Amino acid sequence: MACISPDGKPTESGTKMLRAIESGMGAAEEIASSAGLPLFRVKSGLRELTQAGLANLKDDKYELSSKGAELLDSLST
Amino acid sequence: MEEVKEQLISLPRLGERAPAFEAVTTQGMLKLEDFEGRWLILFSHPADFTPVCTTEFIAFAEIFPELQKRDVDLLGLSVDSVSSHIAWVRNVEEKTKVKIPFPIIADLNKEVSLAYGMIHPGQSKTETVRCVFIIDPNQIIRTILYYPLTTGRNMDEILRIIDALQTTDKNAVATPANWRPGDMVVVPSPNTQEMAEERLKQGYECVDWYLCKKKL
């Protein structure tokens, strides 16, 4: 897993992607630009984040799930 | 039995859709479709921690910024584990100060190697030869290069091919032998006698009706 470590915590790139989604970036291209990551890594990472229940795809836009929001809150504190 | 199966798999050809894959890489699980919308150079090397491959990886890392300017992603591959890849790229960085910025497929089960015809048993039954597949943003194979195990690749030629393909796509022209960006390009051959006659009046630099060049 490139975005989520074996201990279940997001990696640096995973956190960047979640922060980008939190700030309203919904398309993979927007997330890649905001997070400063290659588009292919973001597309792959978004699959991981949605499979882990941290993000959802709705109407072709990615949104943070409540689990993803809680995770980001816990990283901030 | 496995050898027979390998021989029956046909090689991809120019103009065909690149075979889909999902593979473990040094940057996570990647699918071919993750690269859609950008150019991709998929290349194989025989093995990690070998001398010619190390020089090639350093050379690929050196042209990486130029490839990025051209919207081209790089993806390496060999029949080694992801742990081996990680150890090798860390070693390259430690010894040469060159960071390998692109992902490398760990193709231990040879799924991708076989789909792309990267294993040539006459050279090695276990290692991939030095292949380069240039795949366009629509995931069509546009160029295939094969090099033997003993010959490292020429990065200038790979960049030149990318420039030529992108120039062709943008301007509907062809590029002559040894073409470089800024050189004259070849106007496509006329299909009718009328077009051939008109061609000679259009101000192109023509040797004859079938070989005309122009500046872009």
Does the structure show a pLDDT above 80 at B7?
no
Structure tokens at B187: 């106007």
- The Cα B155–Cα B168 span in angstroms is 20
**What's the mean pLDDT in B11-18?**
94
Q: Is B53 one of the catalytic residues?
A: yes
For the domain A12-76, what is the CATH code? 1.10.10.10
Inter-residue contact A3 to B28 (CB < 8 Å):
yes
What domains sit in chain B, N to C, each tagged with a CATH number?
Answer: 2-153 (3.40.30.10), 172-214 (3.30.1020.10)
Q: A66: exposed, middle or buried (C-beta count within 10 Å: 0-12, 13-18, 19+)?
A: exposed
For chain A, percent of residues with pLDDT exceeding 90: 75
Question: Looking at beta carbons, which residues of chain A come within 8 Å of B34?
Answer: 39-41, 43-44
Q: Which of B34, B85, B135 to mutate to test the interface with A (most CBs of A within 10 A)?
A: B34
- Domain positions in chain A are 12-76
Q: What is the ipTM of this complex?
A: 0.89
Q: Which residues of A touch B33 (CB under 8 A)?
A: 43
Q: Is the pTM of this model over 0.90?
A: yes
Q: Which of A40, A44, A47 sits opposite B73 (nearest CB)?
A: A40
**Interatomic CA distance for residues B123 and A31, integer angstroms:** 44
Q: Residue B162: what pLDDT?
A: 98
Residue in chain A nearest B36 by alpha carbon: A40
3-state DSSP assignment of residue A57: strand
